[in-house]
Amino acid sequence: MIRNPNIPEIVRAVASDGTQLRYALMELSTQYKDAIQLGRGDPDLATPAHIIAAAEDAVRSGKTGLTPIAGLPELREALAHKFQRENGLSVETDNIIVTTGGQEAMYLVMQTLLDPGDEVLVPDPRYTSYDEAIESAGGSIVILPTDHDDAYNLRPEVVEAAITPKTKALLIVTPSNPTGGIVTEERLRAIAEIAIKHNLIVISDEIYEKFVYDSWQHFSIGSLLGMEEHTITLNGFSKTYAMTGFRAGFVAAPKDFIRAMAKVKAVTTGPAAAVSQWAGLAALNGPAEPLREFQRIYAERRQVMMDGLRELGLDFSEPRGAFFLWTNTSSTGIHATELSYLLLKEGRVLIFPGTSFGENWGGFLRISILQSTDLLKEALQRMRPIIERYRSES
């Protein structure tokens, strides 16, 4: 439990709400001008120049009007080719919808898929915005435990044991936010058999697919035989191309589901911004070198943070993908929310507590690597006296 009476009300009031807790800590961090931001998952690298140029050209040439609800035909065609070429999905243009970022994709999927009372199986820890999207559609969450000893991989037997007559869908996020774990191909094949057997929809969030480390590989469950009608694949441009502010995501799914999503989108936000869609097309068709450089930089930062955490004596799950290190801080003897507050107040380092990704994770922090190596090293130095003080007191 949180025991520090000095934690400000802005944090204490939302301590049990993962999404609101993250926003409260971000708001609090604005009070500290020199705070090192290791909280949000927004890439700090510059959007590649050819993407910026495409956005500028769209503005100057008047490509700023409304597009079809499902997105620019040119972009949807390019996305279909991307899914075919890179992910092995059997999709066409009509299987694709462009959304206003991954957040909207998540919301639209749940609004289209779920009826009140439907259950969605969700791995824990998890990105808690999914909780809200599911609940907003009248669905309920059934937690699937994962653990450190298994690198937070998802166990097929855990999935099958959780299925009830109310189960509609299974959420898979691979690579994972917050753990950096992946669901391996072997496990995905077994899960696909379960999904087909029980007539489940698999919602596969693959937004971190381009950032997988060492010898690990990303695998798309929708590429497996029989999964075409059982898989909804979410992705976006934000993480891969450092385009978070462009708000451009996309979904691949069966054609009738895409048409149903488009009906919901038409009465909510309408089509995604035209400029962002033209920028996304340039991202897909542009040179590969910027992405390769991003991958190199993140791999270097990952190593710096792993080395630094080991020096601090903190255990963590070695990330196989994404931008995060899921770090066990139970040796400090204090709740993760309290530790996050102290790291911010005393160390000027913003890190999210594990409880902002599920109520069971009061002994963990999610540390992002979305700062330069120099700032990561500085953050580790700022963290050291706080970690050591509380470890010695525990």
The Cα 139–Cα 159 span in angstroms is: 18
CATH number at residue 373: 3.90.1150.10
Locate 278 and state its tokens. 């033209």
* Position 303 in a domain: yes
Q: Does residue 243 share a domain with residue 149? A: yes
Q: Does residue 89 share a domain with residue 229? A: yes
Q: Does residue 381 share a domain with residue 246? A: no
- Among 261, 285, 309, residue at a domain's last position: 285
232-257: b (≥16 Cβ within 10 Å) or e: bbbbbbbbbbbbbebbbbbbbbbeeb
* Position 3 in a domain: no
Q: What is the pLDDT of residue 41?
A: 87
Nearest of 262, 279, 293 to residue 78 by alpha carbon: 279
The mean per-residue pLDDT over the stretch 340-356 comes to 92
Q: Does residue 192 share a domain with residue 333? A: no
Q: Rounded mean pLDDT of the chain?
A: 93
**Is the overall model pTM greater than 0.85, yes or no?**
yes
The Cα 330–Cα 152 span in angstroms is: 18
Give per-residue pLDDT as tens, 129-179. 999 999 999 999 999 999 999 999 999 999 999 999 999 999 999 999 999
- Among 285, 317, 340, residue at a domain's last position: 285
Q: What is the pLDDT of residue 17?
A: 56
The mean per-residue pLDDT over the stretch 281-309 comes to 98
Give per-residue pLDDT as tens, 370-392. 999 999 999 999 999 999 998 87
Structural domains of the chain, count: 2
Q: What is the pLDDT of residue 185?
A: 98
Q: Does residue 72 share a domain with residue 201? A: yes
Q: Does residue 98 share a domain with residue 228? A: yes
Q: Distance of CA 207 to CAs 8, 177, 234, 304, Å?
A: 34, 10, 7, 23
Q: Does residue 266 share a domain with residue 137? A: yes
* Residue 343 structural domain: 9-45+290-393
The Cβ-side half-sphere exposure at 192, using a 13 Å CA radius, reads 22
CATH number at residue 57: 3.40.640.10
Give per-residue pLDDT as tens, 231-262. 999 999 999 999 999 999 999 999 999 999 99
Read off the pLDDT band of 196 (50, 70, 90): very high
Q: Does residue 329 share a domain with residue 226? A: no
Q: Does residue 346 share a domain with residue 237? A: no
- Among 266, 285, 304, residue at a domain's last position: 285
Q: Does residue 267 share a domain with residue 369? A: no
pLDDT exceeds 60 at position 10: no
Q: Exposed, middle or buried: residue 312 (CB in 10 Å: 0-12, 13-18, 19+)? A: middle
Sign of the Cα torsion 42, 47, 51, 52 reads positive
Lowest mean pLDDT among 16-20, 80-84, 157-161, 278-282: 16-20
* Position 1 in a domain: no
Nearest of 126, 36, 40 to residue 354 by alpha carbon: 126
Locate 247 and state its tokens. 């708000």
Q: Does residue 326 share a domain with residue 255? A: no
Q: Does residue 242 share a domain with residue 145? A: yes
* Position 4 in a domain: no
Locate 234 and state its tokens. 């979410």
